[in-house]
Structure 1
Amino acid sequence: MVGLLPLTLVLFSWGPFVNAGSVNYGNPCSVGNQKLEFGTYQFQTDCDSTTFCNSSGLCDHKGCRKDEYPFGYPKNSDFPPRCDSGLFCPDEEDQCLPVLAVGSACQFDRDDECEGPPNFKDLADKTGYGLNVNGSVCLNNVCMWANATLGNTCVVENTAYTVYSSSNESIDIVSRDNCSPGLYCDSQHMVCMQMKNLGDSCDADKECSTFNCLASGVCGKSADSPEHVAFWVYIIVGVCIFGGMLATLIGMYCFHRGHRQAEREKRLQYWREQNAFRQNIMQMQETARHSIMSLPGGGPNSPRSTLYNRDGTQSEDSQIPMLNPQSKSSALRHQLSDDGFDDGSQESIMIQRVDRKDSNRF
């Protein structure tokens, strides 16, 4: 059947050209083109999603809606009303109609079109799988009540839906019946039987109370049942989370500690360089002091002795000019001699300024 499906689809589409679902309001349409799409069984018509084809052969505004949020309407548009209790909106969505009695003709898979039984609260589907609507069911286009009891004769409707996947297409058969809740209709014997429990052998989903017959042929857990894990899994996950947090903190501490150590080494090296530079300056000052004191005429009373104190610091009287016409200072950049000018002459004043500048360098 699966291999013949593409050819079947082609055959169903072969025929008069119909631009289905594209005719706007007021334009002509054909009621004869209304049908259910093969494979999905969706209702198709010539008119667009907001209109229906009336008896006059024109697309008219819909008079009711089946869904809470209908498809195809523009944003902020007014939806047609929903039908009140005791009424239903057909596939054409032209107007609300009274619900149908048992045995009446109904549209495909429209359980809501059928009138509910007096004990509809007991027969209503509570599983959420759409077995019936308020205890009423539409099977083979006939309204029935889902009240067949255990061992009694039942009615089955098997519908093949086309299922499309990313790689291929397949057939999914949906079987519905009129058995009471907790029962299913056996397709071979056509009698209602008790649903099977978890782990029992099965041939179809409808046989299991969980509506999930596994490929291994046993009833499995419901497809929407939550997954429960063992308590030790929570313990392992918690330990991994806290272990990851602790490892992150330790790694950050080690990383920043190395960074701080590198910065500390840089500051220590800078301090050592500055200290060595200071020691070199002090050594140069000491060398210059000894060099000046070792010159002839140098002594405690010599003008040169006033450059430094005994503790090696520069004296406040170091600004006194050093004039010795007979001596030569190897530490000074200028060599001064006495040419017979007295201290008050201009040349003497210039020499004193030069000596003062040289003495400030030390």
Structure 2
Amino acid sequence: MYWLPLTLILTSGQLLVKAGYQTKGQNCSSADNRLQIGTYQFYSDCDSQNYCSSDGVCQPKGCRKDQFPFGYSQDSPLPPLCPSGQFCPDEADACQPLLSVGSPCQLNRDDQCEPPPNAAELADTLHYGRNVNGAVCLNNVCMWANVTVGQPCEVENTAYIAYTGSSEYIDVASRGNCQVGLFCDSQQLTCMSMKAVGESCDGDKECSSFNCQSNGVCGQSADTPNQIGVWVYVLVGVGILGGMSGTLTLLFLIHRRQRDNEREKREQYWREQYAFRQNILQMRETARTSILSLPGHGSNRSTMYSRAASAASDDSSSPIPQQQSPYGASGLRNYMVDDGDFRGRD
């Protein structure tokens, strides 16, 4: 990673300009066109759907360089993409023909430069941003990325402001015009071979994986898939089965304890009910015994029984009175007497 002083960037970052709010037909100034400090995003007085024309009036954009440009709603009509052999500038006023080697170009717009004859050989097929079809825009000049090992090269260091949480830092992107597989050393300004994974490095451009780790060693490419061993899958499977078994066992033990508690409560209830019934029977027997043990209780009982027997004998000697049938003397109907209520029956 290459670092630049913060003075210029932080000082320029203090400039706060209200721009990018003018709509179609409103006044603007092309002198306000600029690249934002830190992000290098193109900004003008007009909004994202318009550009500032030479007449100082915002007009709808005449082209786009992105498949899905920023600032357009789903139903808004999009400006056209440029055909092969042309490019859409940052102003997006109209498509323009590709620029030849040595022509001025806009920052990081390698697509504005005309590709070399052997573009297929020099192109960055891994799309790490080293060039576009073998052409590269360095220090706002179009050139080809065709410099070989040990030859003098051009280098461009661009400082971007990056953020992590509440802090910010400078991330420097360093690019050169060396062939793919080489990098332009910023100190010696000569093309050198890229370093393999595990070698020491100072920036991403030095590594063949384009990934210089924080410990100063080239690491695997950021898009390299992780290779997981079979033992990991086995361990995960055992862990899942163990977790399921442990959960089921724990639930079984918890429910069994609950069932035992409920069973104990029911048994205690029935024991209490049985003891209560036994107490009632015991109290009844005790009361009966107490009554029978009272003085004179036996003679009174015998006298009562003798009187009842005498009365029964007197009643048996007297004739049974005949009730008069309420239905006459014919005797053709039977009747029953129930608590003084007479109900006839054929």
With normalisation by structure 1, the TM-score equals 0.72
What CA distance in whole angstroms lies between the structure 1 residues aligned with 2:238 and 2:135?
A: 54
Cα distance, 1:21 vs structure 2? 0.5
* Counterpart in the other structure of 1:103: 102
Sort the Cα spacing of 1:263 and 1:165 in 2 relative to 1 into closer, same or farther, 3 A: closer
Contact 2:9 2:38 in 1 (8 A): no
What CA distance in whole angstroms lies between the structure 2 residues aligned with 1:266 and 1:38?
A: 78
* Counterpart in the other structure of 2:43: 44
Cα distance, 1:327 vs structure 2? 3.2
Cα distance, 1:264 vs structure 2? 2.2
* Counterpart in the other structure of 1:149: 148
More strand per residue: 1 or 2? 2
Describe the SS at the equivalent of 2:13: helix
Describe the SS at the equivalent of 1:201: coil
Alignment of 1:67-106 (within 5 A): 67-106=66-105
Cα distance, 1:43 vs structure 2? 0.8
* Counterpart in the other structure of 1:65: 64
* Counterpart in the other structure of 2:178: 179
Cα distance, 1:209 vs structure 2? 0.6
* Counterpart in the other structure of 1:248: 247
1:6 corresponds to 2:10? yes
Cα distance, 1:121 vs structure 2? 2.3
* Counterpart in the other structure of 2:134: 135
1:257 corresponds to 2:256? yes
* Percent of residue pairs bearing the same amino acid type: 55
What CA distance in whole angstroms lies between the structure 2 residues aligned with 1:266 and 1:204?
A: 75
* Counterpart in the other structure of 1:207: 206
Deviations 1:317-336 (A, max 9, x none): xxxxxxx98239xxxxxx9x
What CA distance in whole angstroms lies between the structure 1 residues aligned with 2:162 and 2:274?
A: 86
RMSD: 3.8
1:327 to 284, 298, 305: 305
Describe the SS at the equivalent of 1:83: coil
Describe the SS at the equivalent of 1:255: helix
Bigger mean CA deviation after superposition, 106-115 or 71-80? 71-80
Cα distance, 1:115 vs structure 2? 1.8
Cα distance, 1:339 vs structure 2? 11
Tell me which amino acid in the other structure corresponds to 2:52: C
Cα distance, 1:231 vs structure 2? 4.9
Cα distance, 1:208 vs structure 2? 0.8
* Counterpart in the other structure of 1:332: none
What CA distance in whole angstroms lies between the structure 1 residues aligned with 2:175 and 2:60?
A: 34
Unaligned runs of 5+ in 2: 291-296, 322-338, 340-346
* Counterpart in the other structure of 1:331: none
Contact 2:9 2:37 in 1 (8 A): no
Describe the SS at the equivalent of 1:327: helix
With normalisation by structure 2, the TM-score equals 0.75
Cα distance, 1:137 vs structure 2? 1.1
Sort the Cα spacing of 1:89 and 1:3 in 2 relative to 1 into closer, same or farther, 3 A: closer
What CA distance in whole angstroms lies between the structure 2 residues aligned with 1:224 and 1:39?
A: 26
Cα distance, 1:272 vs structure 2? 4.4
What CA distance in whole angstroms lies between the structure 2 residues aligned with 1:284 and 1:187?
A: 111
Deviations 1:112-153 (A, max 9, x none): 111222332222212232111122111111222222222323
What CA distance in whole angstroms lies between the structure 2 residues aligned with 1:3 and 1:342?
A: 138
Describe the SS at the equivalent of 1:256: helix
Deviations 1:7-60 (A, max 9, x none): 3433xx28xxx5310111101111111111122211111111111011111000
Cα distance, 1:199 vs structure 2? 1.4
Sort the Cα spacing of 1:146 and 1:290 in 2 relative to 1 into closer, same or farther, 3 A: same
Sort the Cα spacing of 1:340 and 1:4 in 2 relative to 1 into closer, same or farther, 3 A: farther
* Counterpart in the other structure of 2:18: 19
Contact 1:2 1:170 in 2 (8 A): no
What CA distance in whole angstroms lies between the structure 2 residues aligned with 1:5 and 1:37?
A: 11
What CA distance in whole angstroms lies between the structure 1 residues aligned with 2:165 and 2:285?
A: 93
Describe the SS at the equivalent of 1:171: strand
Higher relative contact order (CA closer than 8 Å, sequence separation 6+): 2
Tell me which amino acid in the other structure corresponds to 2:63: C
What CA distance in whole angstroms lies between the structure 1 residues aligned with 2:283 and 2:164?
A: 92
What CA distance in whole angstroms lies between the structure 2 residues aligned with 1:87 and 1:208?
A: 33
What CA distance in whole angstroms lies between the structure 1 residues aligned with 2:110 and 2:235?
A: 50
Contact 2:211 2:220 in 1 (8 A): yes
Tell me which amino acid in the other structure corresponds to 1:88: F
What CA distance in whole angstroms lies between the structure 1 residues aligned with 2:54 and 2:66?
A: 24
What CA distance in whole angstroms lies between the structure 2 residues aligned with 1:169 and 1:263?
A: 64
Tell me which amino acid in the other structure corresponds to 1:49: S
Alignment of 1:116-131 (within 5 A): 116-131=115-130
| Alignment length (residue pairs) | 308
